[in-house]
Structure 1
C-alpha cells in the first residue's frame, strides 16, 4: 500500500493479493485492476481466440487431426499433473485416466462414423473437453489455471466452429 492509504481507503481499482513476506508470512499487496490490467490478465483467452480464428477461418481441419487433438489433450493434463506433483492422490489419477479413456473413445467414435456425424461427435467431444477444462480451472488443480483457461476457450469456440462449418 502506498503511504497515506489504509486497507479501508484502498483505491477501488486495486485487487488484493497475498504475497510471501520476507518473514515467511503472507503480506497483502495491491495489483492494479484497471481496464487494461483486466484485459491483460485474460491473455490465455486472447491467444486462444487468435488460434481458433487462425485454425478455423477457412473451414474445418481434417477430422483425423481434430480426433488426434481430442485424444492428446487429456494426456497433456496427465503430463502437467505429474510435473506439478498433483497426481499423488488415487482419486485424481483415476479421474484423469477416465478423461483419457472418455476423450479417446469419442475420438475413435468420430472416426468410425460417416463424415457429418463424425464432425458432430467431434464437436461434442471438444465441448465436453471445454467443460473438463472449466472444472480444472475452477478447482485450480492438475494444470496451471492459464492452461485450463486457454484450452477451455480453444475447445469451446473450436466446437462451435466445427458445428458452424459442417
Structure 2
C-alpha cells in the first residue's frame, strides 16, 4: 500500500470557545434577574429606607394576581406598588405629610384578602387562600419592622425579604399565580435586599 492509496477522512471536532450569540441569548433570557440587580442597586444607593414597603408590595402583588386570576397582571400590579411607594416618598419629602406607606399597603392587602376570599370562585380558592395568608404574614413582619428601632427593624425586614424570596422560588418552580418572569425578578430582588439590610443592621449602619 502506498501513500496514494490512503484516504484521509475529515473528522468534525466540537467547536471550542464561547459562542458570543449564544452567550448573549443566555444573558437576555435572564433579563428579570438583571433588572432586579439594577433595582436593588438603586434602592441601596437611595438610602435603603423602603425595605418594609417593598416587602409588603411584593406580597400585595401575589395577592392581587391570585384574586384577579391572571398571572399576567403581576407586572402591572408591581408597577402600581412602585408608584404607591413613590407617592409615599413624595408626600413625606415634598409636602411633609408623614405617610407610612407600609401600613397603607397592608390595609390594601387586608381589604383585597377579604374581597378575594368572599368573591373568588371555588376553583381559584387554592390560589387566593395561601396568597392571603402570605399577605397578612409578610405584612405583619413589615409593620413590626416600622415600629421598632433601626437595628432590629433591619434584621426583621431582612429575614422577611429572604422568606419572601423562598416564596418567589416556590412559585417560580411551580409557574403559578404570577408570571414566571416576575417570580424570578422578585426572588433575586428580595434576596439581594434581604442580605443587604441584615448586613447593614448587624454592622450598625442603620443605627
**TM-score band, normalised by the shorter chain?**
0.7 to 0.9
Q: Tell me the equivalent position of 1:48.
A: 36
Higher RCO (Cα < 8 Å, 6 or more apart): 2
Distance 1:139 1:126 in 2: 20
> What's the CA shift for 1:54?
1.7
Larger helix share, 1 or 2: 2
Q: 1:48 to 1:102 in 2, by over 3 A?
A: same
The 1:83–1:90 alpha-carbon spacing in structure 2 relative to 1, beyond 3 Å, is closer
Structure 2 residue matching 1:141: 3-state secondary structure: coil
Aligned partner of 2:162 in structure 1 is 127
CA-to-aligned-CA distance 1:35-60 (integer Å, 9 cap, x gap): 2211110000011101111211364x
Aligned residue number for residue 102 of structure 1: 137
1:36 aligned residue:
24
- The CA distance in 2 between the partners of 1:68 and 1:48, in whole Å, is 16
The two structures, once aligned, show a CA RMSD in angstroms of 2.3
Q: 1:78 aligns with which of 43, 46, 63?
A: 63
Structure 1 stretches of 4+ moved >4 Å: none
Give the unaligned 5+ runs of structure 1.
1-32
Q: Which residue of 1 aligns with 2:111?
A: none
* Mapping 1:1-166, distance limit 5 Å: 34-57=22-45, 59=47, 61-62=48-49, 65-81=50-66, 82-84=68-70, 88-166=123-201
Q: Which moved more, 1:143-152 or 1:156-165?
A: 156-165
Structure with higher Rg: it is 2
SS at match of 2:177: coil
**CA–CA separation in structure 1 for the residues paired with 2:186 and 2:52:** 15
Q: Larger strand proportion, structure 1 or 2?
A: 1
Report the number of matched residues. 133
Offset at residue 85 of structure 1 (A): 7.0
Distance 2:46 2:141 in 1: 25
Alignment TM-score, normalising by the size of structure 1: 0.72
Are the counterparts in 1 of residues 168 and 183 from structure 2 also a CA contact under 8 Å? Answer: yes
Mapped to 2, the partners of 1:54 and 1:95 lie a distance apart of: 31
Unpaired segments ≥5 residues, structure 2: 1-20, 73-119, 202-207
Shift of 1:95: 0.3
